[in-house]
Amino acid sequence: MDKVSVLLTSRWNWKLLEEAKKWGIERPEECLSCGACVGACPAARTSSYNFRKVVRDVMLGNEEKVLSSREIWYCFYCFYCTSKCPSKVEIPYFIMRLRRMAIERGYGGDILRVVISTSINLMERGVSVLPSDYDRMSPASAEESMVRLRESLGLPPVMRVSEKAMEELKTIFKETGFEDEVERIRSGKWPFKGISEKY
């Protein structure tokens, strides 16, 4: 290692980095700060998001700064960056991991609230998207009109998950902590800590 890298690594905060590397995420610390990912990134083109800054702050242990920011919620999960990165950093997984860490610390509630409907649907029906989610009709009439459309196309009514399967799913929701988080977001009991807009 050359002098500069030694100087830099001596300032790294391994604790935060290790936590961020769970799920087997490889090599975030090998980011060369070359900017290839930023050049490709749709989030970078349309917001203040810059992965290099995020990874740097994780390595420096600026925990609050990263996890409380809107910055980690801009990613499109499109993997364009990974295909361009010379170090093959798994950026979208890394960002997902940071979101998980933020959620566990009580951040992100305001963002999750607007996208929680698929999770609620999954808990109630075993299915993420319902006909009413993409239609302005009431849930009942949206489903009815979808049943009619499907019938006219020669298809069975709508996707149904058997009772036996729903029972199994309920165990999964409980055991994975999914149900608890969804319920807290749905009921507003989340310990909503606001996220910081400035980065």
Interface with ligand SF4 (CB under 6 A): 31-37, 40-43, 51-52, 75-81, 84-87, 89, 91-92
Q: Which residue's CB is nearer to other proteins, number 55 or number 131?
A: 131
Which does residue 37 touch among other proteins, ligand SF4, none (CB within 5 to 8 A, set by kind)? ligand SF4
Query: Quick one: what does residue 87 bind among ligand SF4, other proteins, none, with the CB cut-off 5 to 8 Å set by partner type?
Result: ligand SF4
Using DSSP, state whether 19 is helix, strand or coil: helix
Q: Are 93 and 25 in contact (CB under 8 A)?
A: yes
**Dihedral sign computed on CA atoms, order 90, 91, 92, 93:** positive
Long-range contacts of 165-172 (CB under 8 A, 24+ apart): 165/126, 166/126, 169/122, 169/126
Judge whether 41 and 80 are in contact, CB under 8 Å.
yes
**Distance separating alpha carbons of residues 136 and 159, to the nearest angstrom:** 20
User: With CB cut-offs between 5 and 8 Å by kind, which of ligand SF4, other proteins, none does residue 14 bind?
Assistant: none
- Least separation in angstroms between CB 159 and ligand SF4: 29
CB under 5 to 8 A by kind: which of other proteins, ligand SF4, none does 89 bind?
Answer: ligand SF4
For residue 106, the partner it binds in other proteins, ligand SF4, none, with Cβ less than 5 to 8 A by kind, is none
Residues making contact with other proteins (CB under 8 A): 22-24, 42-43, 45-47, 73-80, 83, 93, 96-97, 99-100, 103, 111-112, 114-116, 118-119, 121-122, 126-131, 133-134, 146, 149-150, 152-155, 158-162, 164-165, 168-169, 171-173, 175-178, 181-182
Task: Give CA 43 to chain center in angstroms.
Answer: 14
How far apart are the C-alpha atoms of 35 and 52, rounded to whole Å? Answer: 7
